[in-house]
Structure 1
Amino acid sequence: ADMGVHVPPMDAAPSHGTEASLEQMVTLHGGGSMAFIDKDDMFGGGTGPIIPYDDIDWSQASKILKHYLSEQNEHVQRGQKDVDEMLELIRRDVSIIDRIESRAPSSIREFLESDSFWHAVEARFSELDVDDSGSVSAEELYPLIVQLTDSAPWAVTESHCRSFSRLFDFDANGDISFRDFSKLLKTCILITSIDGTTEEERAAGHQVMAEAASVVEEVLDAVEQDVKCIDRFEAQCPEEVKSFLNSNSFKDTMKQRFSDLDSSGSGLVAPEDLYPVIIELTQSEPWAVTDTHCRRFAKVFDDSEDGFIQEEEFELLARFCVVVSALESLE
């Protein structure tokens, strides 16, 4: 299946809550007249009748335009919800991809083992890696997600891109490596090669996802309890671990990790940016950790309760991870 499609830049897509002034919603023509956008012809490129500027009933026009914007926002929200549901189905299918592969057409399975497949991976990877960084960012996956979900371009958000990227970010570094991308493309081809999943596969997928989520949640339960006892646990660590936690090396490492996770460069780490930390801590498959898990984990260390992790809060998080790792290695 061809997963390539040319779409407008992401910042050209409408977003929830988009507002525009009345003047921005009309086109200024020569001669001091305005052309109102015809609601029924909005996507056809036409315009309504030319109305002299002084004859415009701005109050009535404002009501019409506000109503139109409200309808369009509802339309956008429905589209984005459809993408949410599609990505959840993809998450489920990724969890049982071995089952799906076992009943894929033989021609597909043979292709996935061929040189032609790897040539396709190289070509598509190179096409998506627009900045030639050697990896594909979440945002660069945008055209692939539009194609795979069969969605309108404006329905796919940056949040969708990040969620999709995490399903295949096997080294949990925030980007899709060539190795990750080969698995991503293989999964896309397999999912689109079968005529839907069977009832048995759907049931198996839900069970696998529930079991994986349970493992993550058990670890988060332990984190919520153990962080209260961090000083006592640290006292049980070997002397070299205690020395490291009080060294400049730990501070430098912690600051570098914080900087790596601060994807926005704002000096704050958002809950979803903690995804790789949770993967390491829980030893889970990428598809098993959700945004809900990220928010729950962040809340444990968010003393300021501002919804983000500040650098001083991240120090406790990093200290906790080192202590837990050290104690587990002693068992």
Structure 2
Amino acid sequence: MIKFKKLGLNEDILSMLKIQGITEPTPVQEQSIQLIKDGSDVIAEAQTGTGKTLAFLLPMFDNMSADINTIQGLIVTPTRELAIQITSEAKKLAEGKNLNILAAYGGKDIGVQLKKLKGNIHLVIATPGRLIDHLRRGTVQLDKLRTLVLDEADQMLLMGFKNDIEDIIEKTPKNRQTLCFSATMGSDVKKMAYKYMNDPKEVIIKKEQTTLKNIKQFLIETTDRRKQEDLCKVLDEDNPFMAIIFCRTKRRVDDLEMALYKKGYNCKKLHSDITQSKREKIMKEFKNCDIQYLIATDVAARGLDINGVSHVYNYDIPETAEGYIHRIGRTGRAGEEGYTYLFAAPKDKFILDSIEKKIKGEIPRKIL
């Protein structure tokens, strides 16, 4: 706790961290917290699973006051799952400070959200679409906002939320603090960040290949026709504790889930066409190990931090090498060993070459 104390966090926050067993700040937390507490605008780049969420939540809670009856903090994030995950972290910290949090995302009953907004809300955690909806209805006022966080900014731009984000920013005070957190900081993200930020401080946590050191990677050379059969062979051989199977599209997720379910595998699918209540139920079941295989798209699984995932299966090759790193980073966490399989057809050679170039090595081939 000494390092957290050195970052100037108050005793309430420190005791909440202690209860949760969090004793050492991660590099992104160590470099960001003091800057944010001091009121600086911050652009932070760090890989998934490095503690970005607490890096902005801790100083925000430290700076917020339960006595001020306005929305003081706003966190905008690309997916419902991430909004749920951040809300869960925020609620643990809020217990000691009497701060009220509203999670505003699509699929959740807007009537309930509107009713809650009539109360005293200090922090809003929202997806862009639902927040725009509230702003148009006049049910959310951001005129007294102190801190705006753009979380997973790269993904928000990739998903086409640029105009929504700009509309949201226009509704906030010019003197607000702006924090931009992302796993990758491309030119589009930087361009947008610098347009709306005031002399931002950059925190860049070097991408370490050590994130892959606990992960044993394998490549299965296959064909589209044979892929499903090869996947089943590997699943039967591994019988993993908890696994995520990635497909490229919602349709592919639907088809694979139906095929595996018919073969008797304990699996459920996760993508954006599934109702919000069902998605929350599925995530809860998966975290509780009631489901062995979660079959998902990249967007649905973006940023999800689930302990205990022992295997990741890339049923469809990701579109980019960066996407591959994101996917396999779901396993091999907290010092545990993880296993990943990439199923590649001859047509995938170009992307496969870029992946192997990115990880600086050839993925070992596994013969079935």
Q: What is the TM-score of this pair, normalised by structure 1?
A: 0.27
Q: What is the TM-score of this pair, normalised by structure 2?
A: 0.25
Structure 1 or 2: larger strand share? 2
Structure 1 or 2: larger helix share? 1
Asked which structure has the greater CA Rg, the reply is: 1
